[in-house]
Structure formats: structure tokens, C-alpha cells
Amino acid sequence: MKKIKVNLDKRVSSSYEIYIGYDILDRIGLIIAKNLPARHYVVVSDSIVAPLYGQPLLSRLRGMGLSVDMVDFPAGERSKNISTTLAIVERLLELGADRSSALLALGGGVVGDMTGFIASTFMRSVPYINIPTTFMSQVDSSIGGKTAIDLREGKNLLGTFYQPRGVLIDVKFLDTLPETEFYNGLAEVIKYGIIEDVELFRFLEKNVNDIKGRDYGILVKVIESSCRIKKGIVEIDERDNGLRRILNFGHTIGHALEAESAYTISHGVAVSLGMTAAVRVSEKLYDFPGEERNRIETLMEIVGLPCRIPQEVRTDGILSRLKMDKKKEGNVIHFVLLKKMGMPFVNGGVPESVLRETLEGLRK
């Protein structure tokens, strides 16, 4: 089992460890009991993950003499709202949870974001551990302490920075992960390769078939590299005031595409299209090397992430969504662009004509 420490400024948050392995459920109980001793634990999960992995986790923890309950809610982004949050909190109270309780988030990004949010506010905060079960949450959202729920006006508008006490990654959870979810994670891994680690990018190029075949040894390596990159960025900029913004590479256009397609384009596909667009803008404005653009687009094609925007998603619609983006400050939309691979920067605004030409160019 691999162990990676996230070192945080102790005036702000406590440091914690990320554990990564294959088929480590038996050891997860020991890690929880050691890193987060509590009178009472509540596993928070969703309607897909709870039936698969909830009982096995519960019985291991109970087998160690720990007091554990489980709460679950309907799976999906649509549940990440204030009414589900209140329903979970009421259930916690019914179960006798108090300040001596701890939460265990067992699921993907929605479960992690919402459980973290509840943990940061329930009884003025209780500790929690993330046990991410999707590829995307294992390489990205479970690390770094961003918690949130969605409001009618937009995604993640109500949230906190609240670090977990640990992140426990069992790669075996990916055995049952649907294809679309797998690609959501893969897009984030490719992102890390492009913005931060050319070695990782090379590793992905070389091992693409084993990754697609979900070879667990290769996946453990990919997840470990991704977690090291993410934790390194979070250590420098826990509160998202600077460097952490580079993690938005591909996401500005990606979110606009997702929304403009009425979420018929998955997050992974949208991010991969967003990254392709950002690379092309970088080539037009900052001389990003054409051969590196080719490598990126070739890898996306081989893994099965498209580089072409579907005709029915209109350029005007994408552009007006970009103007509404929450990361916009004043009238300027901040894009993460690249001078070359491994050298990202936040650009102070891309002319609309360049964006339009780039988006149109991705239809051919």
C-alpha cells in the first residue's frame, strides 16, 4: 500500500495521509481507527455505492468493535442540494450523532463534496475521512478539502474549505465503475500530465491499453502520480488563491460545453474538449508547440476522448455561457493556458474572436 502525506500549514488545517492500494478494505478499518478515533461513525454513501460497498465496509468496522451506522441518498448530481443535505443532517441527529461522531464519505465526487460540507458545519464541525470510489474522486476531488453543494443558481455555490483526516483509495472499487465515469477520471489524469508532469504524460502514452483495460498495477501508479501532483498544488495553495487555479485547465470551456449540451456531454468528454480548445488557443496566442498539440490530441483520440465538438452544441451558446462563468472576474474570463507542456499560466483574457475561431476549428 502506498502512503502520501499532504503537508498543510498547521495554523490553517491539519496534515493528513492518502493511502492507495488494491483490495485494501480489510486494512481500511485499522487506518480509520488509528487516524480518526471516534465514539461513533456514520458512513455517508449513495444509492449506487451503498449496496455494493456499504455493507462490506460496515461489517469490517463493526467486526473491530466500532459503533457504525450508514446513511445513503439517491445517487447523482441532482442530489447535491440543500434538501438532501438537511435530510442527511436530520438522519444524523436521529442516529444520535454528536461532536464525538465522525463521518466516512464512501462514494464519488457528489458524496465527498456533500459529506465534507456537512462535516464542516454539523455541530460546528466534526471530522471526516474520504473513501473515494470513482476514478475522478480518487485522482482529484477527494484531495484538497473543497466541499460544496449546488444551488439553483449554479454548481458548488455553497461550500467550505475543510480538509479530511485521511483519504483511503481502494483501486478495486474501479472494477465496478461504469465506462463514462472511468473516462471522467482519465480526463483529469491527462490534465495532470499536460499541466505538470511530462513523465506522467509519457507513461499514459506508453500504457494506454493497460489503462483502458483497467490493469490495477498500472492504475495504482497513475493514481499515485496524480495524487502527488494534486497534493503538491494544494500544499502551496490550499485556499485556491493562486496556483490551484491551474487545476481548472480545460474546465472553463468544459463547463460551458457541458451546460450548453444540457449535460448530454459527460464531464470527462467536456474537459477533454476544453483542454483541446485551451491548447489550440495557447498555440495561436503563445506559440505552444504544434508537435506537442499533436501528441495531446493523438493521446485523447487513442484513449477514446473526442477532440471534436458535436454540431448540435452551438458556438454562440458556449460563448454566452463562458461570459456567465463564475470564475469570471469583472468582464474578464480567466483561462488556464500553456507556454508548453508542464508550463501552465492563468491568462488575463482571451479575445472572443480567438475563442470563436478555435471552437469552430474543433468542428472540422
User: 214 vs 244, which CB is nearer to ligand GLY?
Assistant: 244
From 75-83, 171-179, 240-248, 262-270, span contacting ligand GLY (CB under 6 A): 240-248
Among 27, 91, 155, 244, indicate the residue that binds ligand GLY (CB under 6 A).
244
Nearer to ligand GLY, 206 or 239 (CB): 239
247 binds ligand GLY, rule: CB under 6 A: yes
Using the contact rule CB under 6 A, the part of the chain among 64-72, 77-85, 138-146, 270-278 near ligand GLY is: 138-146
Cβ closest to ligand GLY, residue 146 vs residue 267: 146
267 binds ligand GLY (CB under 6 A): no
271 binds ligand GLY per the rule CB under 6 A = no
Place of cell 499532504: 6
128-132 and 101-107 as β-strands: parallel, antiparallel, unpaired? Answer: parallel
Q: Which residue is nearest to ligand GLY (CB)?
A: 247
* Contact of 354 with 335, CB cutoff 8 Å: no
| Residue 146 lies near ligand GLY (rule: CB under 6 A) | yes
Site size toward ligand GLY, by CB under 6 A: 7
**140 binding ligand GLY? (CB under 6 A):** yes
Which residues does residue 344 pair with via DSSP β-bridges, in sequence order?
Answer: 338
Stretch that binds ligand GLY, among 29-37, 141-149, 198-206, 299-307 (CB under 6 A): 141-149
Nearer to ligand GLY, 69 or 235 (CB): 235
The distance of closest approach from Cβ of residue 141 to ligand GLY in the complex, given in angstroms and rounded to an integer, is 6
User: Using the rule CB under 6 A, is 169 a contact of ligand GLY?
Assistant: no
In three-state secondary structure terms, 110 is helix
Q: What angle do CA 256, 261, 266 make, to 5 degrees?
A: 85
Distance CA 61, CA 59 (A): 5
Looking at the Cβ atoms of 205 and 240, the one nearer to ligand GLY is 240
Residue 344 CB contacts under 8 Å (≥ 6 apart), including other chains: 195, 196, 246, 249, 336, 337, 338
Binding range to ligand GLY, per CB under 6 A, among 61-69, 79-87, 140-148, 356-364: 140-148
Helix (H, G, I), strand (E, B) or coil at 22: coil
**Strand order, beta sheet including 128-132:** 2-6, 16-21, 166-170, 128-132, 101-107, 40-46, 68-73
Nearest to 224 by CA among 303, 342, 300, 143: 143
Give the dihedral sign, CA 10/12/17/18: negative
Q: Which is nearer to ligand GLY, 195 or 211 (CB)?
A: 195
* Contacts to ligand GLY by CB under 6 A: 140-141, 144, 146, 240, 244, 247
